[in-house]
Every structure is written in C-alpha cells, then in structure tokens.
Chains A and B, each alone.
Chain A
Amino acid sequence: MVTFIAILFAGALFAGFIGSLTGLGGGVIIVPLLTIGFGVDIRYAIGTSLISVIATSSGAASAYVKEGILNIRVGMFLEIATTLGAIAGAAIAFFAPTHAIAVIFGFVLLYSAVVSFIKRNGTAESEILPEKKPGRMIGLLKAKGTYPTANGLKSYTLQHLGGGFIVMCVAGILSGLLGIGSGALKVIAMDSIMKIPFKVSTSTSNFMIGVTAAASAGIYLNRGYIDPVLSMPVMVGVLIGSLIGAKFLIKSRTKSIRLVFAIVITLLAFEMIYNGLAKNI
C-alpha cells in the first residue's frame, strides 16, 4: 500500500507540474493515470481528479486574484451556468456506463491535445471592437469592466451573453462528467464568444474552475466516490507539482513542452478510447 501511494504521489506530482506548465490542469492526466495505470474504477478516478482540480485552481487563484485582472461579476454570473452543468454532468456520470465515459474522455483529451498545440501565447489580444450599443441584459448585468495594462486601464464590454452562457453550461457538464477543470472551453466561451480580453478570460476562467469543480465534487462525495486514501497522495502531489510548474513557467520555453504534452495526451486519448470500446474500463 505504501508503494502504491508513493507511485500515485509521484504520478500526481508530474500531472500537476505538466498541468500548470501547459495551462490545461492536472485532471486530464490524473484520470487516465488512475484508470489505465492502476485499474481504478473511472468514477473513483473522476472524484479524485475533481479534488485535485479544486486544490490547484484555488491555490493559483489565491495568488493572482489580487492583481485585479479577473472580472468577479462576470465570473459569478457565468458560475450559474457552470455549476448547473456540473451537477448535470455528475448525474450523467452515475447513469452512463463506465466504458462510455472512457470513450467521451478520450475524445475530449484528443481535443485538448489539438487546443494545447495550436494555443496562442496570449500576446495577441482580441482586437478592439467598434463600440456597439449594448443590449438590455448587458446593461442590467453591468457586463463590462476594466483591466490594468502597460498603458493604463483598458475597458471592455461583453457581447453574446446567451451564447457564452450555453458554452459555459457545456463546460460545466464536461467538468462534472469527466473530473476535469475544462478551463480551455471556459476561455473559448469568454474570449472568442463574449469578446472578453484574453488575459481577463484566462484568469476569470481559473477563478471559476474551483466553484465548478466543487459543485460536482459535492455530489461525488455524497455518492461515496471520494476516497480518502486515494485522494490524499493525489491532492498533495498535484498541488506541489503545480506550484513547481508555476515557478518553472517563467523560465522555460513552453512551446517544446506543449508539443511533448500534446503527444502524451494524444497517446492517452487513444488508450482511453481503445479501452472504452473494448469495455476494459
């Protein structure tokens, strides 16, 4: 048992490190590690992964929340969508057969691999759009904000609230169903659809991940899928790994790391899909 926990801890350390370096989070590695690597029931793996997602998201958010880039109001509004989605996702996870979850997980992994490979570096800010007359909902929700840049405060106004809300629901469902943070999808909803500046989108997304994961983790806890012995090495490992990753991030050239990560993720994706189709999971 001690060796089992030690290996699990090492794996979680690695997952947290790579997850924070690539910005995709540790969840995408923890679930395949537990299911393929250790033969753990996929719902135990998802419950454990959600724990690590809350830990890394809250740990990271505590550091940058003070910088004033994220938009607390917009985040809170969209958390209605992600938490509702997360509960729905957790409910689906309990009724869906485990091998089907594995196949879905595989496809989401493949998608993550593609996204992480073509991910932009965040230097390309969304272009400033011509000032459009804001709709009634946008005015009501005060869906605008400012954020600090090198040239002083910049302001922005949100667009397509409805579209963003729906994509956030989907992000919540995937988070609850698969035990991942689904940060990439959250950023797409804010950056591409709602036209929130990229920097604001990424930090607000990270801020929201903890609340989203807590919504489904509550269900997993109550259903008996969060095990103390399994979660202990994973939570501590991922947390330490992500802290090291955050320190390392500043010095390293992330492009080559992203390539390696994309390849690893692709292999894991095929492994999950294969095992799911063969009903090994």
Chain B
Amino acid sequence: MDLQKIYDMPENIKQWNDARMRDIMGSLLHIGVLAAAFLVILGGILFFIQHPKEIFDYTTFKGEPAKFRQVHLIVKESLNFRGRDIIQLGLLVLIATPVARVIFSLIGFLIEKDWIYVAITAVVLIILSVSLFSNYLSF
C-alpha cells in the first residue's frame, strides 16, 4: 500500500504539472492567434487607405521583396506603419505562435526534469529555427 503510494507520487506531480502546462499553452495559442489577427486586420485597413486602386498580379511568381521575407526586416519595416508591412508582421506572429508553444514546452519539460523530452523538444525547436531563418543559412 505504502509502496504503491510512493510509486504513484511522481506521476501525480507530473500530471499536475502537465495540466498547468496545458492551461498556459492554451492561453499562449489563444493570445498568439488573436494578436496575429489583430495585426493582419489593422494592416489590411491601412492598406485599403494607402492603396485604394492598386492592382496586384499573382499569376506568375515574382517573389516577395526581402522586406517581406527576412524575419529581422519584417520586424524593422513594420515600424514604418505601412499596411502591407503590418500584415506581414501579423503573419510572422502567426507563424511564431506554434514555435512559442514549443519553446514553452521545452521550459515545462526542463522544470519537470524530463530530460528525454527536453532533448526531443530541442530537436523540434532546431528544425523550426532552421526553417524560419533559412534565408540566413543561404541554402
């Protein structure tokens, strides 16, 4: 009986932590999507005011300029408060939301000292970083 209790204990602590982790994760995703949607809508309104008549063509690929592609330029350009720059910042926030969730998981597993999952989460985070910053890696 006592042995069983001791055996169960870490599992209970883990589950309590997991529940708290899930709560924070849920809020994190919620805030991320809301912030992204807010920026995209704000940028859209600004775009309509700034370019009411402009026509864009997407039938052939021309590629976005660097200011819409590279992470640090997206952040920098958005300070100019132009419609498309703000939209692109919102899209960056949206892409960063799942990444933030993975970073938070990493912190959670570190607190639980669950080293195998710290390693697994770190691998996922590295893969995501390679993708998000692939421009700087020049491949």
Contacts and interface: CB of A to CB of B under 8 A. Distances in A.
A236 B124 contact: no
B24 to A, nearest CB: 10
A66 B102 CA distance: 16
A56 to B, nearest CB: 9
Contacts of A211: 98-99, 101-102, 124, 128
A226 interface: yes
Given A61-B26, A214-B95, 5 more contacts: A2-B48, A58-B98, A66-B22, A87-B130, A141-B120
Interface in B84-139: 84-85, 87-88, 91-92, 94-99, 101-102, 105, 116-117, 120-121, 123-124, 127-128, 130-135
- A-side interface size class: 35 or more
Contact of B68 (A40, A55, A226): A226
Given A54-B97, A62-B29, A235-B94, A227 B58 contact: yes
B91 A66 contact: no
Contacts of A21: none
Contacts of B58: 38-41, 44, 227, 230
Interface in B18-77: 18-19, 21-23, 25-30, 32-33, 36-37, 40-41, 43-44, 47-48, 51-56, 58-61, 63-65, 68-70
A44 B68 contact: no
Contact of A226 (B28, B83, B91): B91
A231 interface: yes
Contacts of B53: 1
Contacts of B85: 228
Contacts of A124: none
Contacts of B19: 68
B99 A214 contact: yes
Interface stretch (A77-85, A107-115, A254-262): A77-85
A142 B15 CA distance: 13
A1 B54 contact: yes
A65 interface: yes
Interface in A230-261: 230-233, 235-236, 239
Contacts of A57: 98
B117 A73 contact: yes
Interface stretch (A180-188, A189-197, A216-224, A268-276): A216-224
B40 A72 contact: no
Contacts of B30: 59, 62-63
Q: Which of B23, B92, B94, B117 gathers the greatest number of chain A CB atoms within 10 Å?
A: B94
